Amino acid sequence: MKQKRYWLRGGGILLAGLVILYLGLNLSGISDGGLWDLPISMFILLPGIIAMGFLGGHFIDGFEGYAIFIISAVVYFLIGAFIGWIYGIIKSRSAGINSQK
C-alpha cells in the first residue's frame, strides 16, 4: 500500500507559498510603503508577532526578526499540515466508498 502523506504536502505547500509571497513582495519593490505592504506583511508575520508579544518582546537581542519569521513559519506549516491531514482523511474515506461500489 502506497502511503500518501497529505499532512506533509499541505504544510509544505502553505509554507512555501507564504514564503514566496513574502520574499516576492520584499524583493520586488512593491512593498516600499505602498497600500498592500502593511496588511500582507502583517498577515504573514502575525503568529510570530503575537508570540513575541507573549514573550515580552525579548527573545535574543538582535534576533527578534528571525524569531518572528521562524515562529510564523512553524505556525503556518502546522496549519497547512492540519488541512492536509483533513484532506487525506476525506480522500481515504471517499476512496473506500468508491471501492465498495
Give tens-digit pLDDT for 3-59: 678 888 888 998 898 888 878 777 776 655 555 556 777 777 888 878 877 777 666
- Asked if residue 77 belongs to a domain, the reply is yes
Query: Closest Cα to residue 18, out of 87, 86, 64, 76?
Result: 76
59 lies in some domain: yes
Residue 96 included in any domain: no
Domain assignment present for residue 46? The answer is: yes
- Higher-scoring residue by pLDDT: 56, 85: 85
Residue 18 belongs to some domain of the structure: no
Q: E strands of the chain, at which residues?
A: none
Is residue 10 in some structural domain?
A: no
pTM: 0.72
Better pLDDT: 100 or 1: 100
**Structural domain for 62, as ranges:** 37-86
Residue 81 lies in a domain: yes
Report the domain count for the chain: 1
